[in-house]
């Protein structure tokens, strides 16, 4: 299962694009409301998550995705369940993807040491130990990072490529007319 964490103040595009594109690619995805079922994004769009954070299980966890947004990122970082899930993935060779401000959570946890990563401009100092990429989407080890909302579709397609291969990613890219 791929879990996409939605914390109050999350960037809507950065959550919706991966959820949509990964489901198109036939991956098992659940959105997870941190602190409740209904979560408001940074632009006031309320989303009803598939499950809440207390319903998460590491037994079927294959990957976690962290959308950004300034407030959303701070709320993700405050969540013991989010941090425990990231640690589980890191310790068990599972992928962790983060976009915009959210790679800062990984940096603060010391997970980006020696990795190449990208984030929203101004958050680079929080990517502790990372080599800052110039690419809008970056894969390094088991970490996938993206620059911001403008690359949310490319970020999602890169996740599909990493998990399911380039052919699957290209098929989805063509279907959604993202050439």
pLDDT, one tens digit per residue, over 78-127 is 999 999 999 999 999 999 999 999 999 999 999 999 999 999 999 999 99
The DSSP secondary-structure symbol of 139 reads E
Q: Taking the complete model, does pTM exceed 0.95, yes or no?
A: yes
Compute how many other C-beta atoms are within 10 angstroms of the C-beta atom of residue 65. 27
Of 69, 33, 76, 28, residue with least CA distance to 53: 33
Question: Residue 34's pLDDT is what?
Answer: 98
Of 58, 64, 63, 82, residue with least CA distance to 8: 82
Classify strands 137-140 and 143-146 as parallel, antiparallel or unpaired.
antiparallel
**Rounded to a whole number, what is the distance in angstroms from the first to the last CA of the chain?**
28
User: For 36-61, what is each residue's pLDDT tens digit?
Assistant: 999 999 999 999 999 999 999 999 99
Compute how many other C-beta atoms are within 10 angstroms of the C-beta atom of residue 144. 27
Residue positions annotated with a catalytic role: 100
pLDDT band, very low/low/confident/very high, at 178 (cuts 50, 70, 90): confident
User: For 145-169, what is each residue's pLDDT tens digit?
Assistant: 999 999 999 999 999 999 999 999 9
User: Which domains, and CATH codes, for the chain?
Assistant: 2-175 (3.40.50.880)
Contact by Cβ (8 Å): 134, 85:
no
Mean pLDDT, residues 63-73 taken together: 98
The DSSP secondary-structure symbol of 130 reads P
Question: Residue 179's pLDDT is what?
Answer: 75
How many angstroms from the chain centroid is the CA of residue 72?
A: 12
Tokens of 13: 């595009």
């Amino acid at each position: 299962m791929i879990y996409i964490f939605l914390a109050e103040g999350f960037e809507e595009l950065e959550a919706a694009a991966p959820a949509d594109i990964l489901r198109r690619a036939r991956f098992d995805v659940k959105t997870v409301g941190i602190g409740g079922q209904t979560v408001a994004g940074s632009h006031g769009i309320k989303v009803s998550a598939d499950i809440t954070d207390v319903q998460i299980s590491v037994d079927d966890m294959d990957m976690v995705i962290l959308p950004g947004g300034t407030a959303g990122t701070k709320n993700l970082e405050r969540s013991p369940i989010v941090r425990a899930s990231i640690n589980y993935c890191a310790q068990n060779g599972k992928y962790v993807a983060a976009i915009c401000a959210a790679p800062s959570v990984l940096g603060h946890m010391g997970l980006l040491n020696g990795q190449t990563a990208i984030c929203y401009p101004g958050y680079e100092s929080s990517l502790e130990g990372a080599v800052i990429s110039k690419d809008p989407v970056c894969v390094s080890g088991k970490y996938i990072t993206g620059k911001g909302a403008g690359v949310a579709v490319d970020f999602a397609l890169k996740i599909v490529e990493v998990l399911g291969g380039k052919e699957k990613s290209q098929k989805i890219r063509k279907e959604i007319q993202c050439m």
